[in-house]
Chain A
């Protein structure tokens, strides 16, 4: 077969990595649809000449770049943490349990002022990312996000964790402002960690986390045929978090039981087994029943449980300020080295 017939993408925009990654900087699903894209084959001789032509709609090099907006990579997370007192929250769970639903529901509540007057939206460096996730435009697929803006995030490993930023102003705490970075990871990462110890390195950032949300599928935990496997895998994951990832034991740890609207108002009994196991490992988890997007909104409102999780995360009573600051410094030092 002639290699000359293989379609390749190149881009006039020097910041776009479509040639290497196949993903368009401007998030076109089909990179060929982007006005800056050049479709070529190995036989093309004058690719460089084509690429040197002006980029459509780009008059000059930008004078200032802002945070990538869709998600924050490790380097930007370090930058943010060095500027502001920021709490890193790990959000973990298998595929389809509702991690993105949780984050989208939190955003939607903020967006519509449904957490006022206790909590106010105070800013976000990733507003486009929240919007796209709430629209299901931005989702993990085979462990990769679409169109990751590698030029802005400087991610060396495009499977590195992505974070969503949210600043919340808390009226209950004398107008205290909280800066959060929520991890947004593909569910496959959690499944891989359960199965292989060697995958723990991906979760290194959790060593410096200030809170952990473990999302479990409430419907599966209530299903007689599925619950035993769910409990079994949850325990394995807890083992990994304690003994391979070394998640700090003194941080707020919230077990989110998702899809509460489908549970007929009952907390799954199986959760107690998981919580007891976590306690034996030295964690101190609390349980929140969450219905991010309710199928029965007249009975259980969409967003039920979100505020509860937020409150649990904000209870940093076990924390001393210097401990949090030390964690932030550790994180920046560790990942600063990693990114060099």
Chain B
């Protein structure tokens, strides 16, 4: 069986759903690297998402079953070959991600997908208030409380574990399972969504450097494991700005929805900006250029 699934993962508010909407619009428009190989049987969900975006609004959080069937079959041509794949995006709101982290196990539903997986896209949204920052020295110092007057002092630190820790743990779990079924390398694309919201002082940096500055543990893991996993870090903006806060951006988008949005990535130490938002999918399916 050919492994051609691209698995979308990420916590809540990581930008998966809006990317799916933009992707569907791009694929239907046809002016991109990917095309829909066969029309999906059921486009109701996709149309629901497209409906919001084409009216200039981001999608609300969806309440979809965790394990939905692949709903877009795609293909792209490369060096006179046609590579086909299916997009598989469990919209799991982050709870499933956390459950795997906490329970240290996953269900048969997860395990059954792995033999079919070609690559995975892991979403992290720039500026999301759902991102849990890494522990810092000040917080830990207060937990250990090693003050002379408080030698035994300690209080437990409450709160969720950092997003970067969950992300690394997820990749490790996926890789451990992946190698049982595949001889090739797993492809993991890290999507930094809402790239247009990167602070002005970091605009000129590449997605890889942004990852280093904001998710240092994940960045180090990427650097250290390039021999066993193919990584790529993408900056993604589906509409080129904030539809909610920026009236000008909304106006521009509504006047030409197919011309907005871009993907930024590092290639041989150069930052390249592509107008085609389907690039990460093509890469996850094996695109090498």
Contact = CB atoms under 8 A, between A and B. Distances in A.
Interface of A: 26, 57, 59-69, 96, 98, 101, 104, 108, 110-113, 116, 120-125, 127-128, 131, 134-137, 149, 152, 167, 169, 177, 259, 262, 292-295, 297, 302-303
Given A116-B220, A169-B223, A123 B168 contact: yes
Given A113-B220, A121-B224, A136-B156, A64 B141 contact: no
Interface in B146-160: 146-148, 151-152, 154-157, 159
Nearest to B212: A113
Contact of B141 (A62, A123, A302): A302
B135 A295 contact: no
A67 B104 contact: yes
B283 interface: no
Contact of B165 (A61, A64, A127): A127
A63 B106 contact: yes
B141 A110 contact: no
A113 B176 contact: no
Interface stretch (B45-53, B73-81, B107-115): B107-115
B272 interface: no
Interface string B90-114: 0000000001011111111011100
Given A111-B217, A121-B221, A123-B168, A135 B105 contact: no
Report, nearest first, the 7 A-B pairs whose CB atoms are least far apart. Answer: A113-B216, A122-B224, A62-B105, A63-B111, A135-B157, A169-B224, A121-B220
Given A64-B105, A108-B140, A293-B141, A136 B161 contact: no
A101 B135 contact: no
A289 to B, nearest CB: 15
Contacts of B107: 59-60, 62-63
Given A121-B221, A123-B221, A96 B106 contact: no
Interface residues of B, number: 49
Contact of B134 (A26, A67, A69, A112): A112
A295 B224 contact: no
B61 to A, nearest CB: 21
Nearest to A137: B156
Nearest to A105: B140
A62 B111 CA distance: 9
16 contacts: A62-B106, A62-B107, A63-B112, A69-B104, A101-B144, A104-B140, A111-B216, A113-B212, A121-B220, A122-B220, A127-B165, A127-B169, A134-B135, A169-B224, A177-B224, A292-B146
Contacts of A61: 108
Nearest to B171: A123
B108 A302 contact: no
Contacts of B177: 64
Contacts of B146: 98, 101, 259, 262, 292-293, 295
Given A98-B146, A122-B220, 4 more contacts: A63-B107, A113-B220, A127-B169, A302-B141
B225 interface: yes
Interface in B197-249: 212, 216-217, 219-221, 223-225
B155 A66 contact: no
B59 interface: no
The secondary-structure label for the interface of chain A is loop
Contacts of A177: 224
Contacts of B137: 108, 293, 297, 302-303
B176 to A, nearest CB: 6
Contacts of B108: 60-61, 63
B170 to A, nearest CB: 10
A68 B151 CA distance: 31
B162 interface: yes
Contacts of B105: 62, 64-66
B224 to A, nearest CB: 4
B157 A66 contact: no
Contacts of B111: 63-64
A256 to B, nearest CB: 15
Contact of B219 (A26, A67, A113): A113
A295 B217 CA distance: 25
Contacts of A69: 101, 104, 169
A297 B136 CA distance: 13
A210 to B, nearest CB: 20
A128 B161 contact: yes
A240 B228 CA distance: 43
A123 B225 contact: yes
A282 B224 CA distance: 37
Contacts of B159: 135
Given A112-B134, A120-B220, A295-B148, A128 B102 contact: yes
B172 interface: yes
B188 to A, nearest CB: 13
B143 interface: yes
Contacts of A262: 146, 148
A212 B119 CA distance: 41
A61 to B, nearest CB: 8
Scoring B111, B136, B152, B217 by chain A CB atoms within 10 A of each residue's CB, the highest score goes to B217
Contacts of B161: 127-128, 131
Contacts of A292: 144, 146
Nearest to B144: A293
B221 A122 contact: yes
Contacts of A259: 146
A127 to B, nearest CB: 5
Given A64-B177, A112-B216, A122-B221, A136 B169 contact: no
